[in-house]
Amino acid sequence: MYIKVFFASIFAILTIYSVVAQKVAVISAVDLKNLNGCWQGTLNYSGTIIRKPYTTTAELVVKQIGNSNNFEFSHIYTKDPGENVVDTVRLSRDGRKLNDGTIKSKRNTSGGNVEIITEVLGFDHDNNKAAIIRQTYSIGKRFYIYKKQVQLAGQIDWLDRQEFKYISKPCLSKS
């Protein structure tokens, strides 16, 4: 009897310590501030069962919307202007979600750079299966890399889907 109580107590203590030790990743609009501006680079789309690998040039203009946690991303594909798109990247008020993806980690690197990783349950249309969608945002003053990966249901490997690599450039004002 005492042995059962002893082991139950040890288990409860270890459970409490593991819960307390888990740190919730949180970001703020300040972590995204280096995105504001103009960017030039490439989009690399990894090949899949139904699509061939594809690389194209890309430009990006990012503007914070007022003082909000939202940022407007204007994607410009210089070789494919018909594919240009504008979307809004939204940071939740509590800083735990970016575009509905739960922030799994935030890592500050040398030189004031930050790496943010989000994950969300979703669907991989290339394989017609449920998947976890992982998005990695590597943000520096002079570079920005966005990488999207998927982990198909029941699998342990991550499949690369797309990667944008940008360097900052001066914004040209429109007259």
Query: What would the pLDDT profile of 60-110 be if each residue is shown by its tens digit?
Result: 999 999 999 999 999 999 898 899 999 999 999 999 999 999 999 999 988
pTM for this prediction: 0.83
Q: Where are the alpha helices (DSSP H) in the chain?
A: 2-21
Which residue in the block uniquely carries the two structure tokens 């991303």?
73
Domains of the chain: 25-169 (2.40.128.20)
Cα–Cα distance measured from residue 6 to residue 76, given in angstroms and rounded to the nearest whole number: 63
